[in-house]
Amino acid sequence: MSIARKICMVGDFGVGKTSLIEQFVHKQFSDRYLTTIGVKIDTKDMSIHGQNLRLVIWDLAGKSSFSKLDHSFLKGAAGYLLVADGTRSETIATAQSLAEEIAGQWGDLPFCFLINKSDLEDQWEANDSKTTSFAQCVFKTSAKTGEGVDDAFDALAERVAP
């Protein structure tokens, strides 16, 4: 029997939240950009310390700030993955303010910070000291190549597992 844990993908528009989920759940990547409207839900079964865990992954539409409605999507979440685009430094600032908003509403919800698009490192704008200051769990990821994706989801799964 699996224990289910809801986790949410949170971040600005176009940072790769949906692509990261596709890479983690289906091992697929598409260059085609489709805007997420509302929320899309996927699941992934995994084993943490011999315990079967089902991650119920809520892919939230890209936001630079949360409305009251958006906060309701986080209700019941065991944790979240906060995503920024390493080639767009403004998405890192957005991620930090989203983390503060979520903490204000939901307290110390476990999260990992993913700086996505590491395959475009020649266009990288992320400054490591700036990015790690507010998050205890940080990963450079590439939804395209798969770099760091499983590690990031595994790290959050460890934090939310019973």
- Average pLDDT of the chain is 89
Note whether 46 and 25 are within 8 A (CB).
no
pLDDT digits (tens, 9 = 90+) for 139-160: 999 999 999 999 999 999 999 9
pLDDT digits (tens, 9 = 90+) for 36-68: 666 889 999 999 989 999 999 999 887 765 655
Note whether 55 and 162 are within 8 A (CB).
no
Predicted confidence (pLDDT) at residue 128 exceeds the cutoff of 70: no
Domains and CATH numbers, the chain: 3-160 (3.40.50.300)
DSSP letter string, 4-55: EEEEEEEESTTSSHHHHHHHHHHS---S------SEEEEEEEEEETTEEEEE
More reliable by pLDDT, 99 or 39: 99
Instruction: Kindly indicate the confidence band of residue 31, based on its pLDDT and cuts at 50, 70 and 90.
Output: confident
